[in-house]
Amino acid sequence: MKLRIFILFLLTAVMSSCSTGLGTTQNPVFSGTVLINTTAPEGSGVANPPVFIWQSTGLSYEVVGVFVNPISVQGKQIQNINDCIAIWDTGMAGSDGNVSFTLFKQVVNGNLTSSSASLSSGHTYYWAVWAYDSQLDLTNSSAQVTFVAP
């Protein structure tokens, strides 16, 4: 009986480990922040242009970033900012929680430009949304979501 329980525990641990490495994590990209739920785009077969949908937070500032590689975070700072190719944030055109990719601006070497962003069809992208309160403290963030550009 004890052996069965041990084997069951071991299998559970192994399965849990495999899930983290293979799929989309359900934890916020910034640890210690409140999770923002996302709806789209995710996986393949997304709309063209993609429409980014998430649960609005009502906070002062929200940023949606699209990356060409998985988002790498240390503490409350994204490390691979050069992988970011497009951003939308509060103040740009578009409704909070529902924004078409056509409203995103291009990011070059971590700097936001005024140019429209573009996606390469068939490529895999990674996106997340994060939000700040009025004191510029980063308080909310979504999990990283993977999608294939249409």
CA separation for the pair 89, 129 (Å, rounded): 9
For another protein, the closer CB: 64 or 145 = 64
Q: Report how far residue 85's alpha carbon sits from residue 113's, in angstroms, rounded to the nearest whole number.
A: 10
* Region 9-48 residues binding another protein, contact defined as CB under 8 A: 30
- One of 77, 95, 102, 113 touching another protein (CB under 8 A): 77
Q: Does 101 bind another protein (CB under 8 A)?
A: no
Of 84, 149, 94, 86, which Cα lies nearest the Cα of 114?
Answer: 86
User: Of 76 and 150, which has the nearer Cβ to another protein?
Assistant: 76
92 interacts with another protein by CB under 8 A: yes
In the complex with another protein, which residue's Cβ is closer, 19 or 60? 60
Binding site for another protein (CB under 8 A): 30, 60-61, 63, 65, 73, 75-78, 81, 84, 87, 89-92, 110, 112, 132, 135-138
